[in-house]
Amino acid sequence: LRASAAVVGALITRLASQLPEGTLRVDTEVLEAYGTDASDGGMHLPQVVALPQDTAQVSRILKEAQAAGVPVTPCGTRTGKSGGSLPVHGGVALSLERMNRILEIDPIDLVAVVQPGVITGALMEAVEAQGLFYPPDPNSWPSCTLGGNVAENAGGPRALKYGVTRDYVLGMEWVLSDGEVVRVGRRTLKGVAGYDLVGLFVGSEGTLGIATELTLRLLPLPAYVQTALITFGSLEQAAAAVNAVLGAGLIPRALELLDAVAMRAVDGRPIPFPADARACLIAEVDGATEAGVEAELVLLGARCEEAGAKEILVARDEGQRARLWEARRGVSPGLRRLTPHKISDDLVVPRSKLVEAIAGCHAIGREEGLMVATYGHAGDGNLHANVLYHPGEEPAVERALGKMLELALRLGGTITGEHGVGWAKKRWLPLEQPAPLLELQQRLKRALDPAGHLNPSKIFPDGG
Ligand SMILES: Cc1cc2nc3c(=O)[nH]c(=O)nc-3n(C[C@H](O)[C@H](O)[C@H](O)COP(=O)(O)OP(=O)(O)OC[C@H]3O[C@@H](n4cnc5c(N)ncnc54)[C@H](O)[C@@H]3O)c2cc1C
């Protein structure tokens, strides 16, 4: 699929006459920056980076690239963990980062209209200033884009109570692989006319088209929020507490679990963890009244104590809350500091199998002689099982990752809860999905991208 330098050169010449100066970049440091992401999937240099500023420019780039037979790989800010934005066949890396305007926030209709390059945290902040709430909160919110969230159907700690990105996308503008621009979905909460094409796009990992405008659903901002750090003497106790809390009829807005390795990775950054804690939960509850939220937290604490909690530390103010979440967000980069490499399996199991899944991942780590950290959105049964390793240990890592995914499937789960299949996990998709289902999805891909040049070789093992 890789196009020759001459073909790409001719494409650049054609596009340069149609796009503002500075839209196309071929300098080495820029190509290198767009050749990697947060998946540890290596360097895959694009042949040109395109930085369009509006839908017409995106459409033009796709149209000309399609005509020239040059692959195009869309990207946001490349925080993806499954290698979806890696330009594995070179060609054009098309970044939406300059399309970063919040176009509208409507407090009556409870919608926001945004360009795809808006940073998730920027939208959260803008709507919260108006007493509104955009719940999807991937832990990368300070740096990832809403377009990337939609393409990956990103989740986050608050998915437990509020759902994932898909639950907040009402409509969108979508540029097809040949440059045609369509608008799908709507602005209203309900509406069932025609196929649910928004649902098809969300989670399609940049393989079916490029989102150039998003109409997102908002909620009123909950008036009260309380956050607690709950420590345990064992990982099993912490996992059991998750089920005890949910079994008591409580739905906290977050219930995040960290094991001892994950805690060590962020200890003191910025909060110290009690030395004897072997696992912890970060629990957050919200609601419309202070008394209701307090009562929920007390009940949650009681269930955790019954499950063996050692200590329950409630954040006293916004500053302490922010520091707790800073520690949670620091886990992934913190683990990266412990060994030269790390790779993350983002598996999901039914909640009843959480204890078994955690114990199983650690046993696999011991079998393969590798350090394993488990943390994540335990309330959703979504575990980030991280394998930390040194150069030379790759074969053991590969075996460990495969065994963990097989374990998740054996327990009735899935190989990815929110990071996507992308480039990193495509060889494992057939473990979860039978050949006819893979073929059905590839037929959809062929219908929307007949030439197969849009983010090629992602998701499906044979290239899609
Ligand atoms: C520290 C850290 C914490 C994280 N925590 C979470 C978490 O809690 N939950 C979670 O779900 N993920 C998490 N992630 C993963 C990642 O941040 C998300 O997948 C995020 O949605 C990616 O957004 P991005 O802008 O970086 O997209 P990129 O990585 O640039 O791209 C991701 C995919 O989206 C496609 N894409 C991007 N923009 C568009 C567009 N406009 N139209 C079509 N396709 C597009 C790309 O082709 C690619 O396939 C985390 C990552 C890090 C580094």
- Cis-peptide into 138, omega within 30 deg: no
Pick from 278, 376, 260: which is nearest to 328 by CA? Answer: 376
Nearest CA to ligand 1 atom 45: 206
Choosing from 144, 214, 426 the residue with most ligand 1 atoms within 8 A of its CB, the one to mutate for a pocket test is 144
- The reported pLDDT for the residue numbered 344 is 87
Residue partners of 333: CB distance under 8 A and separation at least 6:
none
164 vs 145: CA distance, rounded Å: 15
pLDDT of the residue at 462:
74
Residue 400 and residue 389 in contact, taking contact as beta carbons nearer than 8 Å = no
Cβ atoms of residues 261 and 356 within 8 Å: no
Residue nearest to atom 9 of ligand 1 (CA): 138
Report the separation in Å between the CA atom of 78 and the middle of ligand 1, taken as the mean of its atom positions: 6
Pocket flag, ligand 1, residue 23 (CB < 6 Å): no
- Distance, CA of 429 to CA of 459 (rounded, Å): 8
Q: Is the shortest distance between the CB of 75 and ligand 1 below 6 Å?
A: yes
β-pair partners for 376? 257, 383
Give the residue ranges of DSSP H helices in 248-289.
260-266
Q: Rounded to whole angstroms, how far apart are CA atoms 362 and 458?
A: 29
Reported as type and span, the H/E element at residue 140 is none
Tell me the C-alpha to C-alpha distance, in Å, between residue 133 and each of 19, 122, 170, 330: 37, 12, 15, 24
Query: What's the CA gap between 376 and 413, in Å, rounded?
Result: 15
Contacts of 99 (CB under 8 A, 6+ apart): 52, 53, 54, 58, 115, 116, 117, 147, 212
Q: Ligand 1 centroid to 6 CA: how many Å?
A: 32
Tell me if 263 CB under 6 Å of ligand 1: no
* Contact criterion met (CB below 8 Å) for 189 and 170: yes
How do residues 319-376 score in pLDDT, each as one tens digit? Answer: 999 999 999 999 999 999 999 999 988 999 998 899 899 999 999 999 999 999 999 9
Instruction: Give DSSP secondary structure letters for 54-121.
Output: SHHHHHHHHHHHHHHT--EEEESSS--SS-TT--TT-SEEEE-TT---EEEEETTTTEEEE-TTSBHH
CA 207 – CA 449 distance, rounded (Å):
8
Nearest to 372 by CA among 411, 327, 407, 421: 407
Per-residue pLDDT of the chain (464 residues; tens, 9 = 90+): 899 999 999 999 999 999 999 999 999 999 999 999 999 899 999 999 999 999 999 999 999 999 999 999 999 999 999 999 999 999 999 999 999 999 999 999 999 999 999 999 999 999 999 999 999 999 999 999 999 999 999 999 999 999 999 999 999 999 999 999 999 999 999 999 999 999 999 999 999 999 999 999 999 999 999 999 999 999 989 999 999 999 999 999 999 999 999 999 998 888 999 889 999 999 999 999 999 999 999 999 999 999 999 999 999 999 999 999 999 999 999 999 999 999 988 999 998 899 899 999 999 999 999 999 999 999 999 999 999 999 999 999 999 999 999 999 999 999 999 999 999 999 999 999 999 999 999 999 999 999 999 999 999 997 44
Q: Does 149 sit in the ligand 1 pocket, CB within 6 Å?
A: yes
d(CA 314, CA 321) in angstroms, rounded, equals 9
Q: Are 170 and 217 in contact (CB under 8 A)?
A: yes
What CA–CA distance (Å, rounded) separates 412 from 136?
25
SS (H, E, C) 78-97: CCCCCCCCCCCCCCEEEECC
Beta carbons within 10 angstroms of residue 427's beta carbon: 12
pLDDT of residue 229: 96
Per-residue pLDDT at 463:
46
Find the 60 Cα to ligand 1 centroid distance in Å.
24
pTM: 0.96
CA of 80 to the centre of ligand 1 (A): 4
